[in-house]
């Protein structure tokens, strides 16, 4: 993730430790993924063995980790630091 916004130059690390909260958001996303994948496996695969649940959930969470990392930080910035996205702003 960029340290500074390439468009407006905003430094993303607003305060020390701001993104510790993003870890909790990412954890919430991961729990939702585990639940959804588990329910889908149960319904679509007919309750497979435990190793199928563990390996499928682990693979999905590992593949989604880069996306979860970025979106959890973005949500943390928008909800708790007062930063709003303005698409019409252009750096001069």
Tens digit of each residue's pLDDT (9 = 90 or more) over 8-43: 777 766 566 677 888 889 999 999 999 999 999 999
Rounded to an integer, what distance in angstroms lies between the CA atom of residue 4 and that of residue 24?
Answer: 23
- What are the start-end ranges of the H helices in the chain? 20-44, 50-80
> What pTM, to 2 d.p., does this model score?
0.69
Range picked from 4-8, 29-33, 72-76 for highest mean pLDDT: 29-33
1, 2, 9, 45 from 71: Cα distances, Å:
11, 13, 19, 30
């Amino acid at each position: 993730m960029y340290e500074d916004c390439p468009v407006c130059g905003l430094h993303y690390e607003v305060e020390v430790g701001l993104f510790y909260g993003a870890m909790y958001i990412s954890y919430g996303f991961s729990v939702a993924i585990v639940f959804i994948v588990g329910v889908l496996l149960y319904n679509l695969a007919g309750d497979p063995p435990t190793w199928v649940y563990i390996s499928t959930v682990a693979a999905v969470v590992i593949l989604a980790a880069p996306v979860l990392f970025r979106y959890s930080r973005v949500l943390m910035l928008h909800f708790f630091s007062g930063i709003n996205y303005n698409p019409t702003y252009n750096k001069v």
